[in-house]
Amino acid sequence: MKKRLIYLCSIIGVAVGLSPAMAEEATSLLPLGRSWAGNENLPLPYGIGVDYYYQRQGYDIKSLSVNVPSFSPAMASAVQVKTRVNEGDGKLDAWLFPFLNVFVLGGYVAERTTVTGIPPPINTLVINEHGDIFGGGMTLVGSIQRLWGSVLIAETYADLNNSDSWIRSWVVCPKVGVQLDAPWREKGWNVWVGGMFQRTDEDHSGTLGVPVLGHLQYNVKLQEEEAWNALFGTSLDICKHWEASAEAGVGQRQQFTASLAYRF
């Protein structure tokens, strides 16, 4: 984990060091169709940043098998599953057009899955997994004066430390917001509300050491209980090149995102 953080910080440091030399060339290339935006003050075309993401939600069980003699698949309906996710990633993005931003990301994810309602002697099964996550997506944006709307579409895949465990997520986030007067002149301050649609497929397989039973083999396939939740957030241009944002989600899925990006 420490090596990943050092590596990520090194990438950001190199990007910041090179950005003055790249800035003149970058602004001459992107975004394409700059004239379509008229007199709008467009963001700098390239970005490199870091994100922290936390999520907690319940899951429905698509299938569950545990090598316990007293357990049968029919008992899965009484089982409850909750997961907690912590993710850190680095992200690169670019404004291809004034209305279209594309991005790629990669990082580290840790997930704790708690399964309750399993017949004795297990009762509760706790699975801690971690691994690498990568993905990408795009954001479509439109605005009228200070009002704006956006739709983010993204897909991520996490390869967990157990050889047969993985998570694939597809996300759509529509938002509407307004740009406010920032504490200092000519800088953007935005607030927004919106929603998040998430379709996640998870497959966890492995072996756990359980008292009395010894090594327990399990396989569980999961899907979120509720696809939609509500979002609200804010972002602020700290200076010409740096911007920060925070966003929270409420409902059946609870989440929090904090981001810091350097634009050039």
The tens digit of pLDDT for each residue in 51-109 reads: 999 999 999 888 877 776 666 666 677 788 999 999 999 999 999 999 999 999 999 99
Average pLDDT estimate for 137-162: 94
pLDDT at 3: 45
For the chain, the first-to-last Cα distance in angstroms comes to: 28
Let me know if 233 is exposed, middle or buried by CB neighbors in 10 A (0-12, 13-18, 19+).
buried
217 CB neighbour count, 10 Å cutoff:
12
The better pLDDT of the pair 81, 216 is held by: 81
| Percentage with pLDDT > 90 across the chain | 54
By the 8 A CB rule, do 136 and 103 touch? Answer: yes
Contact 234, 245 (CB under 8 A): yes
Q: In order of start, what are the domains of the chain with their CATH numbers?
A: 2-263 (2.40.128)
Q: DSSP string covering 218-253, please? A: EEEEEEES-SEEEEEEEEEE-SSSEEEEEEEEESSS
pLDDT at residue number 94: 97
Quick one: pLDDT at residue 145?
A: 87
pLDDT category at 217 given cuts 50, 70, 90 is confident
How far is it, in rounded angstroms, from Cα 55 to Cα 52? 10
Comparing 232 with 25, the larger pLDDT belongs to: 232
pLDDT band (50, 70, 90) for residue 216: confident
Give the model's pLDDT for residue 35. Answer: 85
pLDDT computed for residue 15 by the predictor: 47
Question: Quick count: other Cβ atoms within 10 Å of Cβ 5?
Answer: 13
Q: Write the pLDDT tens digit of every residue in 164-190.
A: 889 999 999 999 999 998 777 667 899
Q: How many CB atoms lie within 10 A of CB 214?
A: 10
Element (H, E) at 2: helix 2-29
CA–CA distance, 233 with 246 (Å, rounded to integer): 6
Query: DSSP state, 28?
Result: H
Q: Which two tokens stand for residue 196?
A: 């998040």
Q: Is 54 exposed, middle or buried (0-12, 13-18, 19+ CB in 10 A)?
A: middle
**What percent of the chain is modeled with pLDDT above 70?**
82
Mean pLDDT taken over the chain: 85
pLDDT at 192: 98
Instruction: Specify the pLDDT at position 204.
Output: 81
